[in-house]
């Protein structure tokens, strides 16, 4: 790769090639052992830089990996040997437009900064992946990120009104915008939301904002088993729409306690955190339903607080679950989801897989969405343990598909699950996906190996 040629087309300092810098962009958060070191990293400062990189790469068939903050859990932003990792991390401008109740952000803006900018104008950007203090807004749009509030407020896609996208050949297109209702043309904007960097590079997003809501009550329910907790979730969500329904199993609770000492009950089999943000008396009515259904499923303990700080502390505990589990050893992180009534069968099946493969699987879940993160923990340097963990990883995806579910609810297919996509979608849909990819990126430069193999 003639990186000097590319460097000459870009502002000084945009291209990094020294070994330490490129090595830092080999992995994303998934730490895929198969990740490769890119030939160069370009830190774009403008849409023009992005366009220059893609025009150059497309003409020479050089792979380009778009990268936001690198918090991908599916290997979507990991490096490709001989390729360019195109980082958007320096494009961070955020402008709130209160009159239109929207925010325009450059892709590298951290999700938390977008939320904070909206809050300064008394507005709310709901999507809240647990990684919101790490992840970029462009990465959120590219993965259609979910989070804790999705159960009531939807996923990133529900807030995307417009985007500027640079196509594989360097062409810049603008899709959608400030108009709330707009059906002119095919819904191409939606095509790029969740496209995992394989169709274009997002260089600006326009996001809808809401008036803020206040959480009225947080309930923590302790169960003897994950199965009972899952049954309670199904029963509750059949009747009401809480604003948060998060679950942690025994292993996860103890990992959080070991790492951060948050005062969770170490003896519990499972813990479900539920919140209501219904206004006035409605919150008490929702909480009554939550408590009644938890009791009906044999909850051992129920604790409800109306103190927002105390409620936030429980949310913080849940958000700390993955970093806490990372201390136990190498992880394989699943993201399987099922239709809600199948949630108890999914968690029971995951328990069976852990036993059959003699491997440890911790569980946390955006349970109200039927979206679970079974986390397979194995022993570092133990090849046999890693093999069993990989078999369990496949078993869990097969289980979810068998229950009518998905291999990924929010993290994306990335490189780690690309070989599984046809098992879920079928060959015809994968072929259709390839035709879309070929139409937009005929040379196949954008994020090769992600989503499609």
Q: Which residue's CB is nearer to ligand FAD, number 131 or number 424?
A: 131
Q: Do 239 and 191 touch, CB atoms closer than 8 A?
A: no
Copy the structure tokens of residue 450. 């992600």
Q: Which residue's CB is nearer to ligand FAD, number 220 or number 364?
A: 364
Nearest in space to 445 (alpha carbons), one of 197, 202, 203: 197
Q: For residue 60, which phi and psi values (nearest 5 degrees)?
A: -110, 5
Figure out which of the listed residues 139, 162, 337, 370 binds ligand FAD, where binding follows CB under 6 A.
Answer: 139
Q: Which stretch binds ligand FAD (CB under 6 A): 96-104, 118-126, 137-145, 218-226?
A: 137-145
Binding mask 93-132 for ligand FAD (x = CB under 6 A): --------------x---------------------xxx-
- According to the binding rule CB under 6 A, does residue 142 interact with ligand FAD? yes
Segment 17 to 46, residues that bind ligand FAD, using CB under 6 A: 28-29
Nearest in space to 119 (alpha carbons), one of 249, 14, 211, 39: 211
Q: Which residue's CB is nearer to ligand FAD, number 145 or number 227?
A: 145
Q: What is the dihedral of CA 435, 413, 366, 129, to 10 degrees?
A: -90
- According to the binding rule CB under 6 A, does residue 417 interact with ligand FAD? no
Binding mask 303-342 for ligand FAD (x = CB under 6 A): -------------------xx-------------------
**C-alpha span between 193 and 180 (Å, rounded):** 17
Nearest in space to 138 (alpha carbons), one of 200, 199, 205, 218: 205
Q: Do 39 and 22 touch, CB atoms closer than 8 A?
A: yes
Q: What is the dihedral of CA 22, 170, 411, 420, to 10 degrees?
A: -100
Nearest-5° angle of CA 65, CA 14, CA 200? 30
Q: Which residue is nearest to ligand FAD (CB)?
A: 139
Nearest in space to 139 (alpha carbons), one of 216, 208, 77: 77
Binding mask 60-89 for ligand FAD (x = CB under 6 A): -----xxxxxxxxx--xx----------x-
- According to the binding rule CB under 6 A, does residue 406 interact with ligand FAD? no
Pure H helices in 179-225: 188-192
Figure out which of the listed residues 51, 52, 143, 276 binds ligand FAD, where binding follows CB under 6 A.
Answer: 143
Greatest Cα pair distance, the chain, in angstroms, is 68
Binding mask 169-208 for ligand FAD (x = CB under 6 A): ---------------------------xx---xx------
Residue count, binding to ligand FAD (CB under 6 A)? 38
Which residues here bind ligand FAD, judged by CB under 6 A? 28-29, 65-73, 76-77, 88, 107, 129-131, 135-136, 138-140, 142-143, 145-147, 196-197, 201-202, 322-323, 410-411, 447, 450
């Amino acid at each position: 790769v003639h990186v000097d040629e590319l460097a000459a087309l870009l502002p000084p300092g945009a291209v990094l090639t020294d070994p330490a810098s490129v090595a830092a962009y080999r992995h994303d958060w998934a730490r895929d052992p198969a990740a490769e070191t890119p030939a160069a990293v370009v830190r774009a400062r403008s849409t023009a830089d992005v366009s220059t990189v893609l025009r150059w790469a497309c003409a020479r068939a050089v792979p380009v990996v778009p990268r936001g903050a690198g918090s991908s859990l599916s290997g979507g932003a990991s490096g490709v040997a001989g390729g360019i990792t195109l980082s958007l991390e320096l494009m961070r401008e955020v402008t709130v437009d209160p009159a239109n109740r929207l925010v325009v952000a450059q892709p590298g803006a951290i999700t938390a900064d977008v939320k904070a900018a909206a809050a300064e104008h008394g507005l709310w950007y709901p999507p809240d992946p647990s990684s919101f203090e790490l992840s970029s807004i462009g990465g959120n749009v590219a993965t259609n990120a979910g989070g804790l509030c999705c159960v009531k407020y939807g996923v990133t896609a529900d807030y995307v009104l417009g985007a500027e996208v640079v196509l594989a050949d360097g062409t810049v297109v603008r899709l959608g915008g400030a108009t709330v209702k707009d059906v002119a043309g095919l819904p191409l904007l939606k095509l790029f939301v969740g496209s995992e960097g394989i169709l274009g590079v997002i260089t600006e997003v326009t996001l809808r904002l809401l008036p803020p809501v206040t959480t009225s009550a947080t309930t923590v329910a302790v169960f003897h088993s994950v199965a009972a907790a899952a049954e309670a979730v199904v029963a509750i969500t059949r009747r009401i729409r809480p604003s948060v329904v998060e679950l942690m199993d025994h292993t996860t609770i103890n990992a959080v306690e070991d790492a951060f000492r948050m005062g969770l009950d170490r003896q519990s089999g499972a813990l479900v955190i539920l919140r209501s943000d219904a206004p006035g008396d409605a919150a008490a009515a929702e909480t009554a339903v939550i408590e009644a259904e938890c009791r009906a499923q044999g909850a051992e303990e129920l604790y409800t607080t109306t103190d927002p700080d105390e409620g936030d502390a429980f949310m913080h505990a849940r958000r700390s679950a993955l970093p806490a589990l990372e201390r136990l050893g190498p992880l394989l992180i699943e993201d399987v989801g099922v239709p809600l009534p199948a949630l108890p069968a999914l968690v029971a099946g995951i328990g069976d897989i852990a036993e059959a493969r003699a491997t440890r699987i911790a569980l946390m879940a955006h349970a109200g969405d039927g979206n679970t993160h079974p986390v397979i923990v194995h022993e570092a340097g133990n090849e046999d343990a890693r093999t069993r963990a990989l078999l369990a990883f496949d078993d869990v995806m097969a289980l979810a598909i068998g229950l009518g579910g998905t291999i990924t609810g929010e993290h994306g297919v990335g490189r780690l699950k690309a070989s599984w996509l046809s098992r879920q979608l079928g060959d015809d849909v994968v072929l259709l996906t390839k035709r879309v990819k070929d139409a937009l990126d005929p040379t196949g430069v954008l994020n090769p190996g992600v989503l499609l193999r």
